[in-house]
Structure 1
Amino acid sequence: MALWTCATCGAQFPDSVNPPTACPICEDERQFVGWSGQAFLTREELARKHRLVGRDDLGLTGIGMEPSFAIGQRALLVPDGDGCVMWDCIPLATDEAIQHVAALGGLLRTGGHFAGATVLHYARGADGKGALLTGDIAQVTMDRRFVSFMYSYPNYMPLNAAAVRRIASVVEPLAFDRVYGAWWGRNIASGAKAAFAASVARYLAAIA
């Protein structure tokens, strides 16, 4: 029996003798099946070919994989009381990484992503000015001055106006000066509240 991980999206599947016949994440219209076909790696193969690295990302500890795997996101550890919230996830967990996180106080376990997707408001972040961890709900753009919104990033399907307005209405009451995106360095370091509002207006104008 082996734990199988999709090579394209990084989703993990229950242990079985043979790999899954398909990945429902990749077959969703928001994702895609790898150009060479569906492929799965066992946990052991994944650990042999990749390693976990931890480093600072604008004041928070990030954990990612090298070389990059699947969609290449990194997770962030957000201090919370005597433990941490792990924001976003990565496809590999090693004993060393688990021990390191445990030494920081361990994790609070939550659900989320896709239907019911969430953002995290870290009120004590950014030196008390507040931070928003958005994952791919509001993706930090390459110039790191705006965020944008997509139903599917790999397949370039924009998010509809009603959904963007709902995101904006949820975020509007929150105090924050910084936004952390889903990938290393894809953050808005300061002035993020105004940048978020400007991003919503810019996006809605573009799809109007």
Structure 2
Amino acid sequence: MASENEVSYDPERTGSWLVCQTCGTQFPTNDKRKVTTCFICDDPRQYVPPSGQSFVSLDALRSSGHKNVFTPIAADPERLIAINTQPRVAIGQRAIFVRTPQGNVLWDCVTLLDDETIAKVKELGGLKAIVISHPHYYSTHLEWARAFDCPVYLSKEDRMWLAQQDAKRQNFITENETHVFGTTVLKLGGHFPGSLVMLFEGRLLIADTFMATPSGLGNWDTDAVGAPRKRPLGISSFAFMWSYPNMIPLAPEELLRMWDILKKYEFGSTHGAFPGLDIVKTPAEMKQRVLESMQIQIRYSGHAGHAMLKQTIT
């Protein structure tokens, strides 16, 4: 784990540094003899593909036709803008540009940072801060923080997963609730000990602290001939996993701990880590969907007597 306390953004210095092709994490060297594996991908919450470990660089991505696409999110197009790299890089997650009255905050991060992206973000007003949900999206966050001269907020519990450190940029969240420039950052844990979500004006940005399921995204309002219908009972909207790629679910006690934090807050939509993972309902229905999804996961994993199954929306 290297310490890099450079104040300014210098793409010529860092452009050749190694970037894991599977998760997008940047390592502070271009020497392939020094970095032969990715410690993030070697963890059971991630993976190394059948083709094996491989690395690229920002210079290579910038010269190979990759671009960051800015897409307003339909639920709140003036204030939430998704940033997604095309063609896909690494996991393929999106960052979300959040426009608050106190300034712009970037939720999560994508690996690619180029002149075009910098110009677009500055056109939108720049950044006051970056908040990253968990280590799988640490990617090139120090490149972004230096380019926009802003702090980046990360959970203290997950600092062991940093490939680079910068005491001038990285701020470590220690509380379950932290206010960052007009947003409320909640530490729910689960996927990682410090996994975060962000609440902004009734919008809950969840990354993959929990993830929308196909049935959660489904349209249950009408049947095949357009007649109104009610959503069937017992339908899960979210999955809560310790490892998503390796399909290892979270334990019931962890879900109860997460619920005890989240149940205090109101939100009418959730916005996940990948394009298309947005659910918009009333606040009452959204919270009920989260609770029901937790209870379904617990019940069908063999814990029919667990205390979480007695929880209700109050």
TM-score by length of structure 1 reads 0.90
- Relative to its length, the structure with more strand (as a share) is 1
> Distance between the aligned counterparts of 1:48 and 1:152, measured in 2?
33
- Bigger relative contact order, structure 1 or 2 (CA pairs below 8 A, ≥6 apart): 1
CA apart distance, 1:105? 2.8
TM-score by length of structure 2 reads 0.61
> Distance between the aligned counterparts of 2:300 and 2:24, measured in 1?
32
User: Percent identity at matched positions?
Assistant: 35
Q: Secondary structure at the match of 2:253?
A: helix
CA apart distance, 1:12? 1.2
Task: Encode CA deviations 1:96-146: one digit per residue, 9 max, x unaligned.
Answer: 212222232322121146331111011x2xxxxx11111010111123351
> Distance between the aligned counterparts of 1:93 and 1:174, measured in 2?
34
Larger radius of gyration: 2
Amino acid at match of 1:23: C
1:63 corresponds to which residue? 83
1:22 lines up with 2:42 in the alignment: no
> Distance between the aligned counterparts of 1:83 and 1:98, measured in 2?
16
CA apart distance, 1:82? 4.2
Partner of residue 143 from structure 1, selected from 215, 219, 229: 215
Residues paired across the two proteins, number: 202
- 1:4·1:42 contact (CA, 8 Å) conserved in 2? yes
Pairs within 5 Å for 1:1-208: 2-18=16-32, 20-49=35-64, 50-58=66-74, 59=76, 60-107=80-127, 108=129, 109-112=152-155, 114-122=192-200, 124=201, 130-145=202-217, 146-191=237-282, 192-207=286-301, 208=303
2:220 corresponds to which residue? none
- The alignment yields a C-alpha RMSD, in angstroms, of 1.7
CA apart distance, 1:81? 2.4
Q: Secondary structure at the match of 1:121?
A: strand
> Distance between the aligned counterparts of 1:185 and 1:17, measured in 2?
37
Which runs of 5 or more residues in structure 2 are unaligned? 1-12, 130-151, 159-191, 218-236, 304-314
- 1:3·1:16 contact (CA, 8 Å) conserved in 2? yes
